[in-house]
Chain A
Amino acid sequence: MSPVIATVILSGVVLAVGGAIWSYSLGAATVTADVYISDTMRLLYTMQERFAVEHVFYNATDDVLNVWVYNYGEVNVTVDVYMNSTSAFELSDSHLIEAHNTNRVEFNFTSSPLPSHEQVAIKVYSRRQNVAYKRYYVP
């Protein structure tokens, strides 16, 4: 085999393997950057999330505990609201609260009304794992 042909073949192999590695690297770098940005944005949204329990009211007429959750942050929030007391434990889940909005969450206690002076702990968990608390006394 002449040295010229050998060089051409070797160059061809280098170009083919190099091109394949280049192509793979481009794809891998793009995917890695996308995943990194996606993770960063997820972390950013978690950090930007701000919400609070604005008001709680137990309506003894229809035995409904109303919890107002205020999203004062810049991103929409999906929350699960828990209420704990010595006589009850309830969950109301998947409430989407848009940025700068207040949502009312209802707990129905028609079957077993909450007694007066009962201490109720309200916990609001967001799907991004942020938490807000409030304590309330049933009038």
Chain B
Amino acid sequence: MRTRGIMYRRKGVSTILGTLIFIGILFSAVIPMMLTMKQADIFMEQEKLEMQRADDERAREVIDVYAYPEGADKLQVKVESRCEVPVTITHVWINNNMTQTSVNVGAMYEKIIGNYSITLLEGVNATFRVKVTTSRGNVFENLAGDVCYDGNDWVTPQLGIYVVVDSEGGGFWGFGSYRCTVENDGAYSETKTESFSFGSVSFFFDTTEVGPDVFHVTVEKRSGWFWGSWNVVYEDDNVEISWPSGPAIVWVFTT
């Protein structure tokens, strides 16, 4: 009986060894491999989220660029942020020449990026197309278009005020009418109306004949049909066109 018991116990040795080897393989090879793979997956997911966030921020990036003459041989470039994310300007383009820079513009903040030298020749027409590139890869052009020199002086085809009302209509009927008035001290007064608008509306006021001046801008809104009353939604007494030492076309944004 004793001999048989010992024999049975010895038979179990190889089974125990096999089990130990199996557990050894599991813990030393399979589990580390799975943990490594899992770690790589987590890293991938983190980066995916990071890139989605970066793309989202890129889509949110909105800036207004203004370029205008500064003295006889320089262009001044100003940037106004209209977004909730900080923006870094990395390149400034004047025609086909790129200047590298690194200027941070805070959310809803405005900043003069700098003065950039240009070459003007007496009696020779010149046009300057200005744009800036951000670190997120967006390119924004000068809102007022090209800056022009007629060989003698800076010229602009037009002076004006561009009013953009960013709205979703609103009110009980889901639409609204907008009335926009631009005036200065007596020399200029113009009112434009956009009726039954379900979305954003914009008005352009050509003030070329008046020349550079300070204007009063009023935007009124009436919700629904004709019997509603006009309510002032935006008013600014100090919208200044200071061409050529400022933008030829000034943009006004409201909601």
**A interface residue numbers (CB < 8 A to B):** 3-4, 7, 10-11, 13-15, 18-19, 21-22, 25-26, 28-30, 32-33, 36-37, 40-41, 43-44, 47-48, 50-52, 54-55, 57, 59, 66, 68, 70, 72, 100, 102
Contact B37 A33 (CB under 8 A): yes
21 contacts between A and B (CB under 8 A): A4-B10, A10-B14, A14-B14, A18-B21, A18-B22, A21-B25, A22-B29, A25-B30, A28-B29, A29-B32, A29-B33, A32-B33, A36-B36, A36-B37, A47-B47, A47-B48, A52-B139, A54-B133, A55-B131, A100-B135, A102-B98
A72 to B83, CA, bound (A): 20
Whether B18 is near chain A, meaning CB under 8 Å from some CB there, is yes
Segment touching A, from B38-46, B152-160, B182-190, B243-251: B38-46
Partner of A40, one of B14, B21, B41: B41
Partner of A102, one of B7, B14, B91: B91
Whether B96 is near chain A, meaning CB under 8 Å from some CB there, is yes
> Given A25-B25, A50-B137, 17 more contacts at CB 8 Å?
A7-B14, A10-B14, A19-B21, A22-B28, A22-B29, A36-B36, A36-B37, A37-B37, A40-B41, A43-B44, A44-B43, A44-B44, A48-B51, A54-B91, A57-B96, A70-B91, A70-B137
Interface residues on chain B, size class: 35 or more
Whether B59 is near chain A, meaning CB under 8 Å from some CB there, is no
Classify the interface of chain A: helix, strand, loop or mixed.
Answer: helix
A22 to B24, CA, bound (A): 8
Give the chain B neighbours of A28 by CB distance below 8 A: 29
Q: Nearest chain-A residue to B11 (Cβ)? A: A7
Contact B24 A55 (CB under 8 A): no
A-B contact count (CB 8 A): 97
Give the chain B neighbours of A19 by CB distance below 8 A: 21
Partner of A29, one of B30, B43, B91: B30
A61 to B54, CA, bound (A): 40
User: 8 Å CB contacts to A: which residues of B12-35?
Assistant: 13-14, 17-18, 21-22, 24-25, 28-30, 32-33
A55 to B25, CA, bound (A): 58
Give the chain B neighbours of A50 by CB distance below 8 A: 54, 137
A87 to B217, CA, bound (A): 51
A50 to B24, CA, bound (A): 45
Contact A47 B28 (CB under 8 A): no
A102 to B17, CA, bound (A): 63
Q: Which 9 residue pairs spanning A and B have beta carbons closest together?
A: A18-B21, A72-B137, A29-B29, A29-B33, A7-B10, A14-B14, A40-B40, A57-B96, A25-B29
Partner of B21, one of A21, A68, A70: A21
Give the chain B neighbours of A11 by CB distance below 8 A: 13-14, 17
